[in-house]
């Protein structure tokens, strides 16, 4: 788990996400009219322009779309934490989120690899969702 990273400062568009994370749920914003999700959370649907957002539970599994391995520590606090993977993870259509792939050698990450959601407790008791390889299943 990364230490010393910036913590979220929720706003009206993102509060439901962080509130749910605190309860151990990964929720995403979807359009109440067309049902399609979007990311990052915003005030209206970028697909059909609907302005009512319905938050709902995301799938607990996603797949890796792209990733980098942070090898150079870009902050003092990271000197003993590199390397770590930063991945873009497809959760559902319209929703591609950022996470680390935890508990896996970064060099083993592959495109399309399945990952599952879990929760980390960061500083100040803030719970942050993250991703790991589901046990016994390496393919999406």
Partner 1 sequence: MGAQLREKAAIVGIGETEYSKESGRTELALACEAIRKAADDAGISVGEIDGLVRYDMDPVDEVALTSSAGLRNLRWMSHTGYGGTGGNAVIVHAAAAIAAGLATTVVCYRSLNERSGARYGQGSTWMSEKVGGFEQMQMPWGLLTPAQAFGMFARRHMIEYGWTSEQFGAVAVALRTHGSMNPRAMMRKPITVADHQASRMIADPLHLLDCCIESDGGCAVIVTTAERARSLRKPPAWIMGAAQGSGTRARGIIFRDDLATTEAHFTAKDVYASAGVGPADIDAVMIYDHFTPFIPMALEAYGFCGRGEGGPFVEDGRIHFDGELPVNTHGGNHSEAYIHGLPHIIEATRQLRGESSAQVPGCEVVLSCSAVAQLSAAVILRKD
Q: Which positions lie near partner 1, rule CB under 8 A?
A: 2, 5-11, 14, 39-41, 46, 65-72, 74-76, 78, 81, 83-84, 86, 88, 94, 96-100, 106, 111, 122, 128, 130
Rg of the chain's alpha carbons, rounded to an integer?
A: 16
Distance of closest approach, residue 114 Cβ to partner 1, in angstroms: 16
Distance of closest approach, residue 57 Cβ to partner 1, in angstroms: 18
C-alpha span between 114 and 91 (Å, rounded): 10
CB closer to partner 1, 125 vs 136: 125
DSSP code for 125: G
CB closer to partner 1, 2 vs 33: 2
C-alpha span between 59 and 27 (Å, rounded): 9
Contacts with 118 (C-beta within 8 Å, 6 or more apart), sequence order: 102, 129, 130, 131, 132
Angstrom CA distances, 68 to 84, 88, 90, stand at: 9, 9, 15
Distance of closest approach, residue 9 Cβ to partner 1, in angstroms: 4
CB closer to partner 1, 2 vs 140: 2
CA nearest neighbour of 26 among 97, 94, 86, 84: 97
Distance of closest approach, residue 70 Cβ to partner 1, in angstroms: 6
CB closer to partner 1, 41 vs 62: 41
CB closer to partner 1, 88 vs 104: 88
Distance of closest approach, residue 137 Cβ to partner 1, in angstroms: 21
């Amino acid at each position: 788990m990364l230490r010393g990273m910036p913590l979220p400062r929720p706003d009206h568009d993102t509060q439901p996400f962080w509130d749910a994370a605190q309860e151990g749920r990964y929720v995403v914003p979807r359009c109440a009219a067309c049902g399609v999700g979007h990311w990052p959370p915003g005030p209206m649907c970028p697909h059909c322009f609907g302005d009512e957002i319905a938050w709902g539970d995301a799938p607990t599994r996603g797949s890796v779309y792209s990733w980098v391995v942070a090898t150079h520590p870009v902050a003092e606090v990271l000197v003993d934490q590199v390397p770590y993977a930063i991945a873009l993870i497809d959760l559902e259509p319209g929703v591609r989120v950022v996470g680390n792939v935890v508990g896996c050698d970064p060099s083993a990450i592959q495109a399309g690899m399945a990952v599952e959601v879990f929760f980390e407790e960061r500083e100040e008791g803030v719970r942050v969702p993250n991703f790991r390889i589901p046990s016994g299943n390496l393919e999406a």
